A and B are shown apart, each in its own frame.
Chain A
């Protein structure tokens, strides 16, 4: 079992089909929180409750769509035994949400919010590591184990149980890629959206060992972007883990101008670092196949299948 290989890393919860994953939604009384708690629950996620913003009045602590609402993570975890959380809070409140969650025993936290400051992300990453927990985000549609659970809002139309391990920075580009793969009969084992920020909770290279060890994952799709060094780190991890699973990558932002940010905080080229060519070289050097378009990637995957 995968979990035996990485017993202390909560990411293993996603790779163990028998592990229960009771989940709370931090910010469940907000517009986003309420909507997505219901959508996750409809998909099969074990939502066991949620928290309201600090300082909420007792009157605000009514149930939301049948889910109990608590004043704090401490109360929520105590009452429900939650091990996972999806935080749906404003950008400047993400750090506090993560801090509160891991201080109260949450092992796996997904934060979907875009626009988290880098300084907050650095602090969050340090305190999550110190707590032995795992943070996925920020700026991510979340993670999913098709047919079982999703934490976040990866669209159900792109999800289908299968053998492709998906690792993605971009939400929409991964929806598009997987929607087409599903149309061609290729579903996913586990899908981890790491998010588009430069500093984040979980990086590409950190999830590779799980996919490599996971018996259900037969091939890997990496949806990358220009900027930063995660694709290069992932290439090094492919070599280090001696991963032999076929790996296919698409990288967005080939034509981006230096210094111009397009939507994702992490997707920016400064000088010669973070360029499409550097990433392509590194990934191909590690045996992965790199494509400039989704169409080419899908054709190659079908041909290899």
Chain B
């Protein structure tokens, strides 16, 4: 889970990192701020400035205009729900990051006295210092301290301190990436984080009180992570205008089906890995996912795909029928593809109980039917 800049900064401040004064705002909440200020869209990707997602406001009316323009807009493929309104910060732009390297199991430390939005170009030109350290807090701090000594004198103390504080955050919060760019260094050597990027390990959130508290308070800003904590499976809204609802199991195969439908001109509404192995005889998850898909205004067909390696399809088909009975208000055609144990009983159960269900055993044929229905043709 990549934290939004605002949340990343609030967390980093708890580790002693100084950040510009700032507040969150949407269109309806206008905080009192000093001018000039920057209005920064809160989306989980970089490159916001270049994409027009960071706007300077010199007075209240400009702030109003900026919020009006940005909130609700789509920037770099992400809908903007909130902005951070922040006091300007300035100084020499530096860069520091710590990142877990999954292949080596080490921590990569990067530092540069030439940070900012052009950091990649500076990096390519040789301005980036790099060091790897064992996954152990003191080893990382020592390596960071040594690396900083290769920087120009003005940046050494600032980047050492910043790296040490980021290191505390990385280990304490179980982050996989912690980056400050730009890190503004003042002539007197003091420094402040202009931007911050933190990526938390989704798998560790449940043992991280600060991150759990963040999700509890601001779950709307992290819908996928909140949903996974609350429901125990993955559901991602891909396209609010989408025409195909997915009720599928398995991360890889579901991802592949999203690709395949997209390639064939459909717009999948969602991704899901419903995990039939965790149903324990209850249709709850099926009903929940059908309800979410039912919220899609343009969904014309639902694809259910269950490759049951272990799950008994006869049992699964009974659960599907219960779920459909309880979601009768959702009148969207359904194509079900089943393969695995108890297949014949399952097909019999489904087709005899509900004649409108299209049941397939071949995935290609099921996808053909879905594409036809999404285009508005009868299958």
Contact = CB atoms under 8 A, between A and B. Distances in A.
Interface stretch (A98-106, A153-161, A279-287): A153-161
Nearest to B233: A263
A155 to B, nearest CB: 3
B202 interface: yes
Nearest to A117: B204
B102 A172 contact: no
Nearest to B273: A263
A263 B176 contact: no
Contacts of B209: none
B307 A262 contact: no
A262 B103 contact: no
B201 interface: yes
Interface in B58-82: 76-78
A229 B103 contact: yes
A116 to B, nearest CB: 6
Given A118-B102, A253-B255, A265-B203, A179 B307 contact: yes
A223 B204 contact: no
Nearest to B362: A180
B271 A262 contact: yes
A119 B103 contact: no
A259 interface: yes
A196 B77 CA distance: 25
Interface stretch (A16-24, A51-59, A67-75, A292-300): A292-300
Given A179-B339, A260-B224, A172 B174 contact: no
B16 interface: no
Interface string A104-130: 000000000001111101110110000
A9 interface: no
A228 interface: yes
B135 interface: yes
Contacts, number: 175
Interface in B338-368: 339-341, 363-364
B251 A172 contact: yes
B310 interface: yes
Given A196-B252, A199-B100, A293-B260, A260 B203 contact: no
B88 to A, nearest CB: 26
A116 B207 CA distance: 11
State which size class the interface on B falls in: 35 or more
B179 to A, nearest CB: 11
Contact of B102 (A141, A168, A170, A228): A228
A122 B254 CA distance: 28
Nearest to A183: B362
A171 B250 contact: yes
Contacts of B369: none
B102 A199 contact: yes
Contacts of B177: 270
B210 interface: no
Contacts of B171: 119
Interface residues of A, number: 67
A14 to B, nearest CB: 20
B224 A170 contact: no
Q: Which of B238, B255, B263 has the most CB of A within 10 A?
A: B255
B255 A256 contact: yes
Nearest to B271: A262
A164 B86 CA distance: 58
Contacts of B339: 157, 179
B309 A154 contact: yes
Interface string A145-169: 0000000011101100000000011
Contacts of A125: 105
Contacts of B202: 261, 265
Question: 3 smallest A-B Cβ distances: which pairs?
Answer: A170-B252, A172-B250, A263-B251
Interface of B: 1-2, 44-46, 76-78, 100, 102-103, 105, 135, 171, 174, 176-177, 199, 201-204, 206-207, 224, 234, 236, 238, 249-256, 258-260, 262-263, 271, 273, 307-310, 339-341, 363-364
17 contacts: A117-B207, A118-B203, A157-B309, A157-B339, A171-B250, A173-B253, A176-B253, A199-B100, A254-B263, A259-B78, A260-B224, A260-B236, A262-B234, A265-B201, A293-B259, A294-B256, A295-B364
